[in-house]
Amino acid sequence: MEPRSSTEAESPVKERRRGRYKIFLGMAAGVGKTYRMLQEGQAEAEAGRDVVIGYLEPHDRPETIAQAEGLEMIPRRRVRYRDAELEEMDLPAILRRAPELCLIDELAHTNAPGLEHPKRYEDIEDVLNAGIDVFSTVNVQHLESLNDQVAEVTGTRVRETVPDAVLGTADDVVLLDLTPESLIERLLAGKIYAQDRVQAALNNFFTIENLAALREVSLRQVAEEVEHKRVITGAAVGGREERLVETAAAQAIHDRLLALITPTPKSQRVVRRAWRSAQRLGGELDLLWVSNREPDEAEREQLEALRRLASVLGAHLLIEHGDDVAATAARVAEDRGTTYILMGRPKPRSAIRRLLQPALPFRLLSLLPGVDLRIVADRTRRAGGGGNGAATEAKEEP
Partner 1 sequence: MTALLIVLVVLLAIAVVALGGTHLQYRRRRPKKLPTAAAGRILFPFMGGALSQRALDAALRLARAENATLVPVFLARVSMHLPIDTPLPRQSGVALSLQEAIEQRATAWGIPVDARIERGRTYRHALRQTFEHERYDRIVLAAAARGNYGFDADDVAWLLDNAAGEIVVLRPAADTTIGLPPPRPQRAPQPALERTGA
What is the chain's Cα-based Rg? 26
- Asked whether the beta carbons of 26 and 33 are under 8 A apart, the reply is yes
Least Cβ distance, residue 190 to partner 1 (angstroms): 18
Shortest Å distance, C-beta 57 to partner 1: 24
Rounded distance between C-alpha atoms, residue 276 and residue 45, angstroms: 47
Spatial separation of the C-alpha atoms in residues 71 and 51, rounded to whole Å: 7
Quick one: 18 or 186, whose CB is closer to partner 1?
186
Q: Which ranges of 111-146 does DSSP label H, i.e. alpha helix?
A: 120-129
| CB nearer to partner 1: pick between 53 and 217 | 217
Comparing CB distances to partner 1, the nearer of 75 and 387 is 387
CB of 319 to partner 1, least distance (A): 19
* Phi and psi at residue 78, to the nearest 5°: -95, 135
Indicate the Cα dihedral angle 282, 283, 284, 288, nearest 10°: -130
| Amino acid occupying residue 284 | E
Q: Residue 75 or 386: which CB sits closer to partner 1? A: 386
Q: How far is the C-alpha of 338 from the C-alpha of 345, rounded, in Å? A: 20
How far apart are CB 210 and partner 1 at their closest, in Å? 8
Shortest distance, position 147 Cβ to partner 1, whole Å: 10
* CA 165 – CA 214 distance, rounded (Å): 20
Binding site for partner 1 (CB under 8 A): 148-149, 151-153, 155-157, 184, 202-204, 207-209, 213, 264-265, 268-269, 272, 275-276, 279, 301, 304-305, 308-309, 311-314, 348-351, 379-381, 385-390, 393-394
Contact yes or no for 286/324 (Cβ under 8 A) = no
Between 213 and 343, name the residue whose CB sits nearer to partner 1.
Answer: 213
Q: How far is the CB of 154 from partner 1 (least distance, A)?
A: 8
Nearer to partner 1, 301 or 323 (CB): 301
